Structure 1
Amino acid sequence: MGVIAAERIKLTSVKSPWWCSGIVIVIGIGFAWLMGFSAKMAWENYREIDQPGFEQWFLNPFEATLGIHLFGVTVLMILAALVVTSEYRFGVVRNTFLATNHRGMVLLAKAGITAVLAAVLTALVTVGALLLARAAAGAEAGAQLSLSGAESGRLLYAIPIYAALAMFLAVGVGAIVRQTAGAVAILLLWPLVVESIVTVLPRVGEHVGPFLPFANANLFLTGDTMPGMDNFHWGPWGGIAYFAGFVAIVFAASIALVNSRDA
């Protein structure tokens, strides 16, 4: 408990968590309003054009919360990595490891604190994003955004679960790399660039894609509506279990490396 309290004090005594939380709120809420407003404009154009082949746009909860699970969680992963790499940069980690007999407990405390922060924050922002997107879209375009709807209700727990697991992954990557620029580059390029490129490779992407960690996380977030879901060998809950297993491997590797090398 002392390790957890110490990590909580260290996290809340600096400005970066507050700034990152503010960024997540602004991006999540702002993107939701933008998507809702765009959907409303699309519906107004639909009324003016009045063509049978023109499809209406019903804004769905996944689209409305895109700013949270795509951009917001990425910001929080960078914060979680900085929790580790900043201590290596300034040499504070030596004192941290001297204060406890088990270095792995330090990483668990760091990951646990940031995971709780990420889960609570994303849950609250998800509620706000869905409400604002529905208000901006109007009754017609935002018909699918009710909090009592099945997809909205699923995202209210799916996004926090994904965010919490992503914090353990980010702390693990930060502990392995021990360098801020390298850790941030990995956490940004991996889900946004590397996996996107691999999944579209001819004759390779359809076979490799179902085994990519963030692709499985997206399967959990989108549920049965994910394009190309037929290529996966399991459903949404299998996807998050696969992602959790991958996170566990990376985190276990980080603990092993921290215990085996000098601070």
Structure 2
Amino acid sequence: MTLLAVERMKLLTTRSPWWCAALALALTIGFAALMAATADARVPVTVGASQFGYTFGMVVVMVMAALAITTEYRFGTMRATFLAAPNRTPVLFAKTAVVALVAGVIGEVAAFGSWGITKLLAPNADLALQTPYEWRAVAGVGLVYAVAAVLAVGVGALVRQSAGAISILLIWSFLVESLVQLIPRVGDDIHRWLPFTMADKLITGDPDPSGRDVVYGPPPSDAALGPWPALLYFAGVAALVFAAAVVTTNRRDA
């Protein structure tokens, strides 16, 4: 409990997590407001469309998670932490738990905030949360953000440099997984098993029941697994990266 309290204070008493949280909320809710404001009878707004900006918020949350550990290496506070708590594994687990919890809360606030602003701007739209798809599209965002934060902490602990860790996370999520599809014959098959494609399955795994064109909302994921198995797959990838970070951190100097 002491380590958790320490990590909570270190995270919440610095400015960057608050700025990242504000930016993540602004992006996701702002995109939802834009989708609602541009909707019409031909292109109705839906629950799925209200979460159009969730991936942008997820990237900001991963930046926050990576900075939570890389800045400690940059300013040397990680060395002091390891001197106070020589067993490094519980330190990493405590930091990751706190960051993941904060990321999950940001995700839920962003998702329900996006849904709420959509209902406010489009009061006549059918935005009831009734089907499993609709509940996953909103409530599932916090789960995806939490797992993504664990992955980002793992990458940050492995790289130990803010610019490097953030670059890896951004390039992988925005470029690599899309460019893989350009590989002849096997590109699409590989893409269906990539981690962020799997994460997207929980939110957009089923077709939008309104039949809304994908141009006006998040396209359905083509992941090879169902929504919940896909989330477990994404969590497994995050766990492997985090485990590698724990082993590496215990073997090298602080």
Q: Does TM, normalized by the shorter one, top 0.5?
A: yes
2:87 is equivalent to residue 105 of structure 1: no
Deviation at 1:39, TM superposition (A): 1.1
Q: Which residue of the partner structure matches residue 239 of structure 2?
A: 248
AA aligned opposite 1:24: A
Aligned with 1:207 (options 189, 194, 197):
189
Q: Which residue of the partner structure matches residue 9 of structure 1?
A: 9
AA aligned opposite 2:59: T
Contact 1:32 1:132 in 2 (8 A): yes
Q: Which residue of the partner structure matches residue 33 of structure 2?
A: 33
AA aligned opposite 1:236: P
Q: Which residue of the partner structure matches residue 63 of structure 1?
A: 49
Give the Cα–Cα distance (whole angstroms) in 2 for the partners of residues 157 and 188 of structure 1.
24
Contact 1:20 1:76 in 2 (8 A): yes
AA aligned opposite 2:34: L
Superposed, 1:137-176 pairs within 5 Å as 137-139=122-124, 142-143=125-126, 145-176=127-158
Contact 1:73 1:166 in 2 (8 A): yes
Q: Which residue of the partner structure matches residue 88 of structure 1?
A: 73
TM-score calculated relative to the size of structure 1: 0.87
Greater Rg, structure 1 or structure 2?
A: 1
Q: Which residue of the partner structure matches residue 238 of structure 1?
A: 229
The SS at the match of 2:205 is helix
Uncovered stretches (5+) of structure 1, i.e. residues with no partner = 44-55
Going from structure 1 to structure 2, the CA distance change for 1:59 and 1:205 (only over 3 Å counts) comes to farther
Going from structure 1 to structure 2, the CA distance change for 1:25 and 1:254 (only over 3 Å counts) comes to same
Going from structure 1 to structure 2, the CA distance change for 1:3 and 1:31 (only over 3 Å counts) comes to same
Q: What stretches of structure 1 move > 4 A for 4+ residues in a row?
A: none
Comparing 154-163 with 181-190, which one deviates more in the overlay?
154-163
Contact 1:134 1:146 in 2 (8 A): no
Give the Cα–Cα distance (whole angstroms) in 1 for the partners of residues 178 and 226 of structure 2.
20
Q: Which residue of the partner structure matches residue 168 of structure 2?
A: 186
Going from structure 1 to structure 2, the CA distance change for 1:253 and 1:236 (only over 3 Å counts) comes to same
Contact 2:108 2:141 in 1 (8 A): yes
What percent identity do the matched residue pairs reach? 42
AA aligned opposite 1:36: A
Q: Which residue of the partner structure matches residue 212 of structure 2?
A: none
Deviation at 1:75, TM superposition (A): 0.6
Provide, for residues 113-138 of structure 1, a one-character-per-residue CA deviation record: whole Å limited to 9, x for no partner.
Answer: 11111111211221121121133234
Give the Cα–Cα distance (whole angstroms) in 1 for the partners of residues 44 and 87 of structure 2.
52
Give the Cα–Cα distance (whole angstroms) in 2 for the partners of residues 127 and 227 of structure 1.
20
Give the Cα–Cα distance (whole angstroms) in 2 for the partners of residues 177 and 249 of structure 1.
15
Give the Cα–Cα distance (whole angstroms) in 1 for the partners of residues 204 and 221 of structure 2.
11
Contact 2:100 2:147 in 1 (8 A): yes
Give the Cα–Cα distance (whole angstroms) in 2 for the partners of residues 218 and 228 of structure 1.
6
Contact 1:115 1:168 in 2 (8 A): yes
Contact 1:130 1:146 in 2 (8 A): no
Provide, for residues 168-192 of structure 1, a one-character-per-residue CA deviation record: whole Å limited to 9, x for no partner.
Answer: 1000000000011000001111111
Give the Cα–Cα distance (whole angstroms) in 2 for the partners of residues 38 and 205 of structure 1.
34
Aligned with 1:129 (options 108, 114, 130):
114
AA aligned opposite 1:80: A
Deviation at 1:57, TM superposition (A): 1.6
Higher helix share: 1
